[in-house]
Chains A and B, each alone.
Chain A
Amino acid sequence: MEELRNLLNEKYPGIDFDTEKELVDNGVLDSVEIVSLISDIEDTFDITVTMEYIQPKYFQSVESMWEMIEELQ
């Protein structure tokens, strides 16, 4: 999960990923950013994020993103 946390901190230095648990619902991440993030996650973890996983619940927090990555690995 540390690798993901580093990726997010580097990409979005202004966001506190330790405390923010509703990134999508609170409008912190919009659709354009989610698409860009998917691309980075795919490159970093060598996975393909399929449509089943492109829904708000998998992008709300670092933990939920990590859960998605683990399922896809």
Chain B
Amino acid sequence: MSYVSFEFLAFCVAILFVYYIFSAFGKYGRKAQKYVLLVASLAFYTWSKLYPGLKDGFTSDIVSGIFKSLSGILITAIVSFLAGVLIGGVWKREAKKLEACDDKEKQKTIKKKSKRLARLWLVLALLVAVGLLAVCKYNEFAVENINVILDKLGKGQLEAPDILLPMGISFYTFMAISYVLDIFWKRYDYEKNVFAYVSYITYFPHVVQGPIDRYNKFSAQMKDGVKFSYKNITFGAQLALWGFFEKLVVADRIGIFVNNIYGNIEEYKGIIIVLATVLYSVQIYADFAGCIDIVRGISEMFGITLEKNFNHPYFAKTMPEFWRRWHMSLMEWFKDYIYYPVSTSKLVRSVKKHTKKNRLKRFGELFATCFPALIVWMVTGIWHGAAWNFVAWGMFHACLIILGNIFERPLAALTKKLKINVESFSWKLWQMTRTFVLCCIGRVFFKAGTVKEAFFIFRQMFAKVELYRLLPAYLFTYGLNVYAFTVMLVSIFILWAVDMVEEKYPLRETLSRQNLVFRWLLIYACLAAILIFGVFGPEFNASAFIYEQF
């Protein structure tokens, strides 16, 4: 069931109704709300199999289809839950034993034994979760690359097994890993109620495209249930409405233009490819941020605040700042579960120690900064897709971050020497433009199907200028006529203006203080814009989200 469909809206209304009926039954009713969400999430997850069964009666094919859809996510959920129970149990027993023991040597032995056992459960859980992700998502990629080697050796080819890719596997696997690692690192207590935990993993607003929420924050909101709140409903509905605008009016209209150029890339050269690439950067932002606003809005209506995923990324002045503003929940995940563990690993520590002794401190510091960044970006690339172009995209960003680190001090010294006012608007504008351009270059790897294709696009981009393609006689023939092109530009301007205001003021709170007529006028205007200017496909359905494939 797509987030941008009438059936999803009807589904949400029905679930909200049942959810808040439970809240009317006091404390026990509210405690049961998590079960409503669990059932709703499982129904959402299996909708394409469940719906024919609801209409025409369940057959064995439909039942097995539901079972197949659910098996991947439930295995990851239950294994990570059990790992939490086992690791949490080890820590509890350790605490009891330590309390009863005064001998420091014995305490050390207790800690060592406990850690060894907890690590065993952790490794087993990670093997299952990461193994499932690897098998389901990367089997074709692995077989494809093995076949290249076999081909060079003159050996026979392997055939990739036909494995169903569970919806949202990259997102829910990361949530499960974060939970198990947090318990292993004693960051919070483990969950004892399997249904509460499974309702977190399968929660329908975040299971398809994130945000990648953390269990402790999620469960704290769910623990005692949620009372009906008019503010939650209105604020949530407004946020979701804005998300629909971003997706249907901005992203999908730009998509027509971009796909027209990128779909026939060999026919174009120069400026028009540059324009399509710039627009693609706006499209992917509006598409992903739109989806996140829709699901955060829906979730807010259920009284659950999901992690923030975007903070106006195209206003970033440096690449590290961009990555603190773009897909924030994923980058936070990488920081907590890959960057810090690698940065404090034995390897990095020993290199730092060794270089310090040999008066190569700066090299040691650089290694400690760059090596973890390289690992993080390699994983980020491969997480986005099982293809070399995503790895190249990750490496491109790793290079930018590493070069930024190496040249940070000399560049700061140079700007000081040149007496550049780094606080001036013009300097900040230059920094923002530079960051955006670098992002656009990376997007070419992201959009291209292969690395070869990405380099072909770069060649086409710089082969000729072909400025004439910007003339009206040409410009309005790439899928958007003059009317549609104008709508696209106006919608991009609205998106930019809203981001600009939000950068300085809490827009939602400010709007909520305006008088009723003004607020309703804005809501109707947004709704009308979606219905009139939104891009709908057959049967009034929108195109798929770009990040859905990850």
Q: Among B187, B320, B339, B365, which residue has its beta carbon within 8 angstroms of that of A36?
A: B365
Which candidate, A4-12, A13-21, A49-57, A62-70, is the interface stretch facing chain B?
A: A49-57
A51 touches B320 (CB 8 A): no
Asked whether B512 is an interface residue with its Cβ less than 8 Å from the other chain, the reply is no
Asked whether A39 is an interface residue with its Cβ less than 8 Å from the other chain, the reply is yes
A30-B320, A36-B365 known; A49 vs B185 contact (CB < 8 Å): no
What chain A residues lie within 8 Å of B186 (beta carbons)?
52
| Interchain nearest-CB distance for B149 vs A (Å) | 37
B339 touches A38 (CB 8 A): no
A31-B335, A35-B368, A39-B352 known; A54 vs B340 contact (CB < 8 Å): yes
- CB interface residues, B 165-213, toward A, < 8 Å: 185-187
Asked whether B369 is an interface residue with its Cβ less than 8 Å from the other chain, the reply is yes
Q: Among A27, A31, A39, A49, which residue has its beta carbon within 8 angstroms of that of B339?
A: A31
A50 CA / B341 CA spacing, docked (Å): 9
| Interchain nearest-CB distance for B114 vs A (Å) | 13
> What number of A-B contacts does a CB cutoff of 8 Å give?
38
- CB interface residues, A 40-54, toward B, < 8 Å: 49-52, 54
A54 CA / B340 CA spacing, docked (Å): 7
What chain B residues lie within 8 Å of A34 (beta carbons)?
340
A35 touches B340 (CB 8 A): yes
What chain A residues lie within 8 Å of B343 (beta carbons)?
35, 38
The residue in chain A whose Cβ has the minimal distance to the Cβ of B352 is A39
What chain A residues lie within 8 Å of B365 (beta carbons)?
36
Asked whether B405 is an interface residue with its Cβ less than 8 Å from the other chain, the reply is yes
Asked whether B344 is an interface residue with its Cβ less than 8 Å from the other chain, the reply is yes
Q: Among A27, A31, A36, A39, which residue has its beta carbon within 8 angstroms of that of B340?
A: A31
What chain A residues lie within 8 Å of B344 (beta carbons)?
35, 38, 49, 51, 54
| Interchain nearest-CB distance for A42 vs B (Å) | 8
A55 touches B187 (CB 8 A): yes
A49 CA / B344 CA spacing, docked (Å): 8
What chain A residues lie within 8 Å of B340 (beta carbons)?
31, 34-35, 51, 54
A54 CA / B182 CA spacing, docked (Å): 11
What chain B residues lie within 8 Å of A55 (beta carbons)?
187, 336
- CB interface residues, B 366-382, toward A, < 8 Å: 368-369, 372
A52 CA / B324 CA spacing, docked (Å): 23
A43 CA / B297 CA spacing, docked (Å): 47
- CB interface residues, B 78-109, toward A, < 8 Å: none
| Interchain nearest-CB distance for B217 vs A (Å) | 13
A35 touches B187 (CB 8 A): no
A52 touches B187 (CB 8 A): yes
Most buried by A among B186, B336, B340, B368: B340
A51 CA / B185 CA spacing, docked (Å): 6
The residue in chain B whose Cβ has the minimal distance to the Cβ of A54 is B340
The residue in chain A whose Cβ has the minimal distance to the Cβ of B364 is A39
The residue in chain B whose Cβ has the minimal distance to the Cβ of A43 is B356
B341 touches A51 (CB 8 A): yes
Q: Among A31, A32, A36, A52, which residue has its beta carbon within 8 angstroms of that of B185?
A: A52
Most buried by B among A31, A36, A38, A51: A31
Give the interface of B toward A (CB within 8 A): 185-187, 320, 324, 335-336, 339-341, 343-344, 352, 365, 368-369, 372, 405
Given A32-B320, A32-B369, 7 additional A-B pairs, CB 8 A: A30-B324, A31-B335, A38-B343, A38-B344, A52-B187, A54-B336, A55-B187
Give the interface of A toward B (CB within 8 A): 27, 30-32, 34-36, 38-39, 49-52, 54-55
Question: What are the 3 tightest A-B residue pairs by CB atom distance, in nearest-first order?
Answer: A35-B343, A51-B185, A54-B340
